[in-house]
Amino acid sequence: MLKPQKGSEQQPRHTKGNSLDKYCEIFSNRVSNRYIIHTKNLRKDEHTRLISVCMSMYL
C-alpha cells in the first residue's frame, strides 16, 4: 500500500457547481438559466435546475 508523502495534501474534490459557477461568472451576459443533465429525478437547487436525461429534449 502506498502512503502519501509527508507534507503533501490531497486536493479536495470539486463540489457540485464549482465549475458551473465559474463558467456562469465568465459568461454571465450569455447564460440566463443553469441546467445540469443527470440520471436522477427532476430537482431544483438554489440557482440550478437538475433535469433527468429523458427531460433534456425539452430544453
What is residue 21's predicted lDDT score, i.e. its pLDDT? 83
Residue 36 lies in a domain: yes
Residue 22 and residue 15: Cα distance in Å, rounded? 12
Q: Domain for residue 41, yes or no?
A: yes
53 occurs within a structural domain: yes
**Domain annotation covers residue 13:** no
pLDDT recorded at residue 1: 47
- The reply to whether 5 falls in a domain is no
30/24 Cα distance (integer angstroms):
8
**1 is a domain residue:** no
- Count up the domains in the chain and report the number: 1
Say what the pTM is: 0.52
Give the tens place of pLDDT for each residue, 9-57: 554 444 555 788 888 888 888 888 888 888 888 888 888 888 998 888 8
For residue 31, the enclosing domain spans 18-58
pLDDT reported for residue 14:
46
- 438559466: which residue's cell? 33
Who contacts 16 (Cβ-Cβ below 8 Å, separation ≥6)? 36
Domain assignment of residue 9, yes or no: no
